[in-house]
Structure 1
């Protein structure tokens, strides 16, 4: 599943509309628009571009890894990484309305970290995608990569390639702050559990908590309101949606990590094996160095009780 099917995505009519939206928002980290020779202004231009300074120690690829004629070399020569990424996804990639050049969140910080790895600085230009345009944006060369809660599937992998997975979402548990006795899905048995109608939680919760009582709501806002009103002990929904809810509702808290698997990959142009290996090697580096966990802690982790999850193994799912 993609968060594009949820309420928080920017819906654009196609790749042309996405590019037009970019021309209006001019969202980048100190970069000019495509074809614009005017010196870029705004945005950060050093490794400490994020508010928390997360990228100060981000790795930079050696010159030997930027192979002549490669996608990496083309990006470095251009001087910016062009990314398909949302602008309205709290804790994932959200634009600051008071400073359009500032886009923060888990996906956004990872995209900046990849730019640092290639360029030595977090120069990122964003093209906001719609779910139906992501493959086209890669295929026609509008963007270099997609960081967009892009679920890896074998069907999609026939059109584009995936590096990663870099994160696993899935169903997770949220509670009202102050609720005791629920720290993960293992504590749901015997509890009243709120779920979204016609969502995977309807069948998944009885499997892990057969004595739980389910209460279904048609919309996410209605489910959140019911939880805060005490009409259920917990709410089970997609982790990234719950994190988005918790970012705007201070009394909501996500506990534990996802207990089902929905692997997210970095979208790349099809059959660019060299670029895919380059990004996969980068992912391993930031996982081992702790940068991946720090980025999670400063974004999704701010509304989640518990330690950073273990990153998924690179190439561990069909299509990756």
Structure 2
């Protein structure tokens, strides 16, 4: 989660618009970076957004899309390569979560993990192995690098923002998605409408993320509390132990789709390029995964995965993916 205090560019605003759904003339949202608006922009999970079952309804078509992914040619996976070793093992070890709605959320009725990140990990497994065989290893913001360095996972798909500091200890493929930090509050909260309103208030975020440093730099008087997981941060907000929760807008929007007592502000105040975390000592795999990403972006598969996951709660066409590298 990189820090930026400058006004967003036109391109950044277009990317942020991927999380802005319908507009209703109800209230004024004043943002720290974008000025004010005469209407309230809605994000997934806000009143008027599509129902939480929409992504489940799209699951069969997504499964068919993944199953139709053509496996990589053998020439792309020579003997001894990382991809060849994964294919021989028969499953892709994925670092991820089960608690991030829209990106990677466990459905207790089916036992399956659904969402944008989860779908992409299965698509990569299909490309390597010839079947979407993945084994999920739960990660937190604090454990991702360690699990990659000791090879407990092959790849991390977990709304993983690329930063220079992280890129010193692991490899990143991508970016494959662009998000931005935003603010979540309880549904009846009308006092916090922008970043500056966090001054003097208790704000929760995840330890190991860079949201804390962003808040400290832009709102020095905010009282920051750190928790390891999204679930703990959300619980603190819902129980009234915190005034606001700051993290990537997509994660917060996912929270709102499953918890109607919270809402997400439409404004964002950073750019968060998501990458696929990979072991730093396997450079061949970074090239392999980047080439795969370019392929699914070029042939429209990336956009179809977006439509079946994030797009089930956002109207309009899929946004253009960020430039890889």
- Pair 1:88 & 2:99 matched: yes
Displacement of 1:114 = 0.2
Q: Hey, what's the Cα distance between the residues in 1 that align with 2:289 and 2:101?
A: 25
**Structure 2 SS opposite 1:114:** helix
Displacement of 1:56 = 3.6
Residues 256 and 306 in structure 1, CA contact (< 8 A), matched pair in contact too: no
Residues 171 and 201 in structure 1, CA contact (< 8 A), matched pair in contact too: no
1:62-77 mapped onto 2 (5 Å cutoff): 62-77=73-88
Q: Which runs of 5+ in 2 are unaligned?
A: 3-58, 185-191, 204-210, 219-224, 226-232, 240-244
Displacement of 1:257 = 9.6
1:136-215 mapped onto 2 (5 Å cutoff): 136-171=146-181, 193-195=193-195
- Pair 1:53 & 2:54 matched: no
Deviations 1:67-102 (A, max 9, x none): 1101101000011101001011111111111232x1
Displacement of 1:271 = 3.5
TM-score (norm 1): 0.62
Q: Hey, what's the Cα distance between the residues in 2 that align with 1:297 and 1:130?
A: 26
Q: Which structure has more RCO (C-alpha within 8 Å, separation ≥ 6)? A: 2
TM-score (norm 2): 0.61
Residues 238 and 261 in structure 2, CA contact (< 8 A), matched pair in contact too: no
Deviations 1:127-186 (A, max 9, x none): 001222211111111111111111111111111111111111104699xxxxxxxxxxxx
**Structure 2 SS opposite 1:135:** helix
Residues 67 and 126 in structure 2, CA contact (< 8 A), matched pair in contact too: no
Q: Please, which of 269, 278, 281 is the counterpart of residue 271 of structure 1? A: 281
Residues 82 and 125 in structure 1, CA contact (< 8 A), matched pair in contact too: yes
Q: Hey, what's the Cα distance between the residues in 1 that align with 2:118 and 2:91?
A: 14
Residues 49 and 55 in structure 1, CA contact (< 8 A), matched pair in contact too: no
Residues 59 and 286 in structure 1, CA contact (< 8 A), matched pair in contact too: no
**Structure 2 SS opposite 1:53:** helix
Displacement of 1:194 = 4.9
Q: Hey, what's the Cα distance between the residues in 1 that align with 2:235 and 2:316?
A: 25
Q: Hey, what's the Cα distance between the residues in 2 that align with 1:164 and 1:152?
A: 9
Distance 1:168 1:124, change over 3 A: same
Q: Name the Cα RMSD after superposition.
A: 3.7
Displacement of 1:247 = 1.9
- Pair 1:238 & 2:248 matched: yes
Q: Which runs of 5+ in 1 are unaligned?
A: 3-47, 175-191, 205-217, 226-234, 316-320
Deviations 1:261-318 (A, max 9, x none): 1111111111322111000000001111111111111111222234322111111xxx
Aligned length: 238
Q: Hey, what's the Cα distance between the residues in 2 that align with 1:245 and 1:311?
A: 23
1:299-318 mapped onto 2 (5 Å cutoff): 299-315=309-325
Question: Which stretch of structure 1 is more off in the superposition, 288-297 or 165-174?
Answer: 165-174
Residues 172 and 236 in structure 1, CA contact (< 8 A), matched pair in contact too: yes
Distance 1:53 1:271, change over 3 A: same
Question: Which stretch of structure 1 is more off in the superposition, 253-262 or 143-152?
Answer: 253-262
**Structure 1 SS opposite 2:141:** coil
**Structure 1 SS opposite 2:193:** strand
Q: Hey, what's the Cα distance between the residues in 1 that align with 2:269 and 2:315?
A: 14
Q: Hey, what's the Cα distance between the residues in 2 that align with 1:59 and 1:238?
A: 32
Deviations 1:233-252 (A, max 9, x none): xx997321332134225698
Distance 1:242 1:135, change over 3 A: closer
